[in-house]
């Protein structure tokens, strides 16, 4: 009996070999590339696939360029006071920050964009940023519809002056 038990144990240990992982396998059908940077707008789009960060699109990148802005100016009751138009230039500083010029000569407004097609004008003094006059501050936001909206930006902002708040809304069209 002991001999059988020893023989079976010996047979068991001799016949077993340690487990080895198989060679990694990449499915040849997966050829689409996707962005793997969480701050990008298109993070994980086309997943599963091959991680390729050169396909990433960042929030500030979608606003870069010069736009013709059609502005409507309202009072606090919502009545249209005036309409205006001017060129605005959006300059990408990094993945989320951008500068906006064109509201006033020599004035640059800084803004922060999110991956959800929106940007906010940064607050740097009081409740906004200085605008054309030393007593004026601007604060507001802008947005695009989606990643494929390469022509338009919807903007709404408020200008606080020494005489009150003036509301602005309009659409910028890329030049």
Domains of the chain, residue spans:
27-57, 59-174
Predicted TM-score (pTM) of the model is: 0.79
The top-level CATH class assigned to 59-174 is mainly beta
- DSSP assignment string, the chain: -HHHHHHHHHHHHHH-----PPPP---TT---EEB--TTSTTBTTT-SSEE-GGG---GGGGG-EEEEEEEEEE-TT--EEEEEEEEEEEEE-SSSEEEEE-SSTT-EEEEEE-TTSEEEEPP-SSSSEE-SSTT-EEEEEEE-SSTT--SEEEEEEEEEETTEEEEEEEEEEE-
What does each of the 175 residues of the chain score in pLDDT, given as a tens digit?
777 777 777 666 666 677 888 887 777 787 889 999 999 999 999 888 889 999 999 999 999 999 999 999 999 888 999 999 999 999 999 999 999 999 988 889 999 999 999 999 998 776 788 888 888 899 999 999 998 888 999 999 999 888 889 999 999 999 9
């Amino acid at each position: 009996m002991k001999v059988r038990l020893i023989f079976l144990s010996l047979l068991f240990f001799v016949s077993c070999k340690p487990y080895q992982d198989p060679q990694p396998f990449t499915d040849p059908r997966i050829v689409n590339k996707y962005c793997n940077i969480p701050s990008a707008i298109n993070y994980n789009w086309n997943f599963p696939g091959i991680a390729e960060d050169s396909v990433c699109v960042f929030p500030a990148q979608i606003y870069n360029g010069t736009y013709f802005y059609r502005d409507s100016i309202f009072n606090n009751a919502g009545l249209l006071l005036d309409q205006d138009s001017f060129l605005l230039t959006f300059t990408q500083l990094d993945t989320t920050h951008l500068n906006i010029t064109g509201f006033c000569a020599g004035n640059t407004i800084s803004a922060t964009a999110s991956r959800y097609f929106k940007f906010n004008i940064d607050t740097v003094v009081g409740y906004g940023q200085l605008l054309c006059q030393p007593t004026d501050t601007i604060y507001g936001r802008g947005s695009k519809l989606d990643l494929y909206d390469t022509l338009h930006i919807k903007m709404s902002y408020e200008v606080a002056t020494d005489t009150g708040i003036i509301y602005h809304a309009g659409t910028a069209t890329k030049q």
